[in-house]
Amino acid sequence: MSTSILNEQDYYRIVYGGWLGKNIGGTLGGPVEGKKELLELTFYPVLPDGPLENDDLDLQLVWLHALEQYGPGLTSRELGQKWMEHIFFPFDEYGYALANLRRGLLAPVAGWFNNPFNDCMGSPIRSEIWAMAAPGAPATAAHYAYQDAIVDHAGGEGVYGEMFFAALESAIFFEKDRDTLIEIGMTYIPEDCRTAKALKDLIRWHSEGKSWIETRSLILEYHGNDNFCDAPQNIAFTILGWLYGEDFEDAILKAVNCGYDTDCTAATLGAILGMLLGPEELPDKWVKPVGDRVVVSPPVKGFPAPKDLDELTRRTIRMGKQILAAWDTGILVHPDLPTSWNRLEASAAETAGTIRELWDRKVTSNLYLLPQGTQSCPDAELVIDFGSEGPAIGAGQRKTLHFTLTNRSRVPIDGSIALELPKDWARPDELEVSLQPDESFQWDVEIRASAVAAASHELTFCWTRIHDHSIWAVQKVPFALISASRWIVWGTENDAGKEIYVSGNRLAWEEVLGLDSALLTANRVYRAETTLTNPIERELRLIAAANSPVTLKLNGQTVIDCKETLEFMPAYNRCHKEQWVELTLPAGIHKVELEYTGNGYPLEVYVLPVALRNTTSPGSYYYHTDILLG
């Protein structure tokens, strides 16, 4: 392998420029986040005290701390743990993933299950740390971006958005041409994903000579989404600013003035241009108001945040050196030698191999390397697949789990597999297994839960190794199932109620009743009923987020009565005020009744018990995981 040299001063300059550009763009776009109209920003809002706090940067500071704690072997498992320890954001996909993680689920299942926001921008905005810690190694950067994104976006466009940006930004260390960089980034995402389609159309419209405002309209027409955080449209807006911008200022203003997720578009483009230009080429007009301070949002806490951009840059470089060595990249950071890239054009091969394998991984399953704690070269692999309904089971309900054990050692192994289940659950018999090297055994197991419901249940897969007819070692892999909720649903007033189990918070009438959406008659009332068990008296926000008029009764009293069809927004923190109520809920079991008016479209509603805005410690609107529905 030919060695490439990255001069340490060049490394510092690119990383510092990127973090500075990130701060500039996030501060510019933050105050107008969510505005969907064409904007006319020309500069920052009044900044009395430097840059504004922004999750675009906050979360990457935590990821830097994760790299420092766990080293180059960092995976989604450790990143999920960092979410629970340091990040108390309730926003959209963040809130859903955190609820799943707190109940014992792991990525990618935690990022996919019951998550209506996995196509959003929460992960594409976190790409820079991986690019800067894997300079000149796009495949490595894309790998880390994948591990990051699946924690809260598994199965969605958010994963592809972060991989695209991480690969593009990593390539900036050896490539400066704009169009080549975009092309490199696009080789790390599937050609048929929505993000790739939006980018291809953007590039074509730009080449056809359409104005940036015309192109913005076309992006919204062909790739737009009512949710301002949807990733494909915002990634296209980011690159639109780059394609049409005449300089740094013009580019970030065009991106932000497209509207929608403005802090994300401006911050990511600011980081890209900052890496390309370096701090000395960024305009003083934009640099002086933000300075070199690092500001952290109060709900992101409990870790050693860098005090300024210099510390952030030096800590990033320190981890980058470790990653370049651990991944055998052939890239050497040198304090004296000039930067010299001897890069083979291997991106196509990389994409066809390890990167494509990431795209194809199932989001319904978790992979464990054995023995646990292994980062590579395992002796065995275990895959637990929960199926399309996800990791949920109702009281007294049956469920089939799929286990695949693969021998990755160089010798045959013998032993037995078994499950440890909660008290009074129906369990399968222990099974003897003998595996040759690289041989797999699939075990499809039906289990039955007891009649006792719980927020989550811990199960354990046991692999007992046998040597000379004796028990040699036992490895145990704990995993979680959460409680599915029991509902009674009615299609019409004259129907007998139908009992169903819902694996998450979403009720979709055409699915639970087996109806074609065309049969969901406009103005017909559909009903559902369940119970809500609250273990302690508490103040909370109860949400019935629906895509049609909806009424929710609690113990026979109407507490939510939304009479109009609103943009569907099942978010903990920004659901429409007509679709939530805040109240003091006594401990005990409460009756919940829904009435939902058909509008000729597929009907869906999310029932969500969450915390209030004001909490004793920063971090509001989190999901109450100890409250049971059904």
Query: Residue 217: what are its φ and ψ, rounded to 5°?
Result: -60, -40
Residues β-bridged to residue 5:
332, 340
Model confidence band, residue 284 (pLDDT cutoffs 50, 70, 90): very high
Collapsed DSSP state (helix, strand, coil) of residue 106: coil
Helices and strands (H, E) in the chain, number of each type: 19, 22
- Return the CATH fold of 485-629: Toxin - Anthrax Protective Antigen; domain 1 (3.90.182)
Whole-number percent of the chain with pLDDT over 90: 90
Share the mean pLDDT of the chain.
95
- pLDDT exceeds 60 at position 349: no
Domain 364-483: give its CATH superfamily: Immunoglobulins (2.60.40.10)
User: What's the pLDDT at 48?
Assistant: 87
Provide the CATH number for the domain formed by 4-358 in this structure: 1.10.4080.10
Q: What is the mean pLDDT of residues 533-538?
A: 97
All CATH 2.60.40.10 domain ranges in the chain, comma separated = 364-483
CB contact burial 168-203 (16+ within 10 A = b; e otherwise): bbbbbbbbeebeebbbbbbbbbbeebbbbbbbebbb
Alpha carbon distance 309, 23 (integer Å): 10
Q: What is the mean pLDDT of residues 5-15?
A: 98
CA 272 to chain centre: 22
Residue pair 405/382 in contact by the 8 Å Cβ criterion: yes
Chain segment 195-215, per-residue pLDDT in tens: 999 999 999 999 999 999 999
- pLDDT exceeds 70 at position 493: no
Model confidence band, residue 524 (pLDDT cutoffs 50, 70, 90): confident
Model confidence band, residue 418 (pLDDT cutoffs 50, 70, 90): very high
All CATH 3.90.182.10 domain ranges in the chain, comma separated = 485-629
Measured torsion, CA atoms of residues 511, 516, 522, 527, in degrees rounded to the nearest 10 = -30
Model confidence band, residue 364 (pLDDT cutoffs 50, 70, 90): very high
pTM comes to 0.96
- pLDDT exceeds 70 at position 346: no
Crossing angle of helices 248-257 and 231-244, rounded to 10°: 150
Alpha carbon distance 432, 447 (integer Å): 19
All CATH 1.10.4080.10 domain ranges in the chain, comma separated = 4-358
Model confidence band, residue 427 (pLDDT cutoffs 50, 70, 90): confident
Alpha carbon distance 613, 266 (integer Å): 28
3-state secondary structure 254-317: HHHHCCCCHHHHHHHHHHHHHHHHCHHHCCHHHHCCCCCECCCCCCECCCCCCCEHHHHHHHHH
Chain segment 74-126, per-residue pLDDT in tens: 999 999 999 999 999 999 999 999 999 999 999 999 999 999 999 999 999 99
275 Cβ partners below 8 Å, 6+ apart? 14, 15, 17, 18, 21, 131, 169, 172
Chain segment 536-574, per-residue pLDDT in tens: 999 999 999 999 999 999 999 999 999 999 999 999 999
- pLDDT exceeds 70 at position 451: yes
CA 16 to chain centre: 26
Place of tokens 């065309």: 518
- pLDDT exceeds 90 at position 519: no
Helix (H) or strand (E) holding 538: strand 538-546
Model confidence band, residue 344 (pLDDT cutoffs 50, 70, 90): low
Whole-number percent of the chain with pLDDT over 70: 96
| More confidently predicted of 339 and 521 | 339
Q: What is the mean pLDDT of residues 259-287?
A: 98
